[in-house]
Amino acid sequence: MIDLHFAPTPNGWKISIMLEECGLPYTVVPVNITRGDQFKPEFRKLNPNRRIPVMVDRDTPDGGEPLTIFESGAILLYLAEKTGRFAPRDLHGRTRVQQWLMWQMSALGPMLGQNGHFSLYAPGRIPYAVERYGNEARRLYGVLNDRLGESSHVAGDDYSIADIACFPWVMTHKAQGVTLDDVPHVRRWFAALRARPLLQKGLAVGRRGVRKTLDAQARSNLFGARPASGHAPAQTLQSQQLDN
């Protein structure tokens, strides 16, 4: 049986989508990241980085000890290997999927995350940050658009974990200030994926828990960096700015 430690965010939905697409039974364990569940000692044992998603699989393919995995890319790779789904086995195909998955993990996700932060949540407008991350977000949409002009899916002709990793982030395009009219190949791909019933089922997980606005406690838990030991109180973003 699989436990998915989850919050309704793009990185969380990558895994609920994959589990639904693979038809694997799982239990959702909600982690309220706006209320600081990620800083609890029991969660830290699952992920020292204190972020969702985390997956615990008690039915590993080797029949061994339960496996706890954090980092959404690592979880997707594990599930692809476990099920034989959504990642080709041949060297070229597998490497292409890994390459685009790494691109999502290292570029598309983090840069869209920063763009969203500085354009929607930062206290006060910081033009340099808004411009830098806005430009980078638009550049990355351009990269994705070029890629999807060459192949029907992100890593080639078949739907793969690279698509599953990108989709929930591209879902945030409006909030990112990006219109899909400017990236028609992305728009075509986005519509095709959105029509997948099991992707929809994965996206419905936790949907009612999505907060549109963040109160002070949520801002502190999400944006007030905490030291790794977790013992010191969270700083607010404002006090960080003053310290620098």
Ligand X SMILES: N[C@@H](CCC(=O)N[C@@H](CS)C(=O)NCC(=O)O)C(=O)O
Using CB under 6 A, which of the segments 45-53, 115-123, 179-187, 203-211 binds ligand X?
45-53
Q: How far is the CB of 184 from ligand X (least distance, A)?
A: 28
- Quick one: 8 exposed, middle or buried, by C-beta within 10 A (0-12, 13-18, 19+)? buried
Q: Quick one: 116 or 134, whose CB is closer to ligand X?
A: 116
Give the tokens for residue 54. 């985390």
Q: Does 122 bind ligand X (CB under 6 A)?
A: no
Site string for ligand X, 2-21 (x = CB under 6 A): -----x-xxx----------
Select the residue interacting with ligand X from 17, 19, 33, 69 (CB under 6 A). Answer: 33
Q: How far is the CB of 69 from ligand X (least distance, A)?
A: 10
Q: Quick one: 53 or 134, whose CB is closer to ligand X?
A: 53
Q: Which residues within the stretch 201-230 sit at the binding site for ligand X (CB under 6 A)? A: 222
HEC secondary structure over 15-77: HHHHHHHHCCCEEEEECCCCCCHHHCHHHHHHCCCCCCCEEEECCCCCCCCCEEEECHHHHHH
- Quick one: 41 exposed, middle or buried, by C-beta within 10 A (0-12, 13-18, 19+)? exposed
If binding means CB under 6 A, how many residues of this protein chain bind ligand X? Answer: 13
Q: Which amino acid is at 149?
A: G
DSSP strand pairing (26-30 vs 67-70)? unpaired
The residue whose two tokens read 């828990």 is 209
Q: How far is the CB of 92 from ligand X (least distance, A)?
A: 25
Select the residue interacting with ligand X from 22, 67, 71, 132 (CB under 6 A). Answer: 71
Q: What span, in angstroms and rounded, lies between the C-alpha atoms of 147 and 153?
A: 8
Using CB under 6 A, which of the segments 49-57, 132-140, 154-162, 167-175 binds ligand X?
49-57
Give the tokens for residue 211. 């907060």
Select the residue interacting with ligand X from 6, 21, 38, 145 (CB under 6 A). Answer: 38
Give the tokens for residue 223. 């944006």
Q: Quick one: 20 or 37, whose CB is closer to ligand X?
A: 37
Q: How far is the CB of 106 from ligand X (least distance, A)?
A: 9
The residue whose two tokens read 């029509």 is 195
Interface contacts to ligand X, rule CB under 6 A: 7, 9-11, 33, 38, 51-53, 71-72, 105, 222
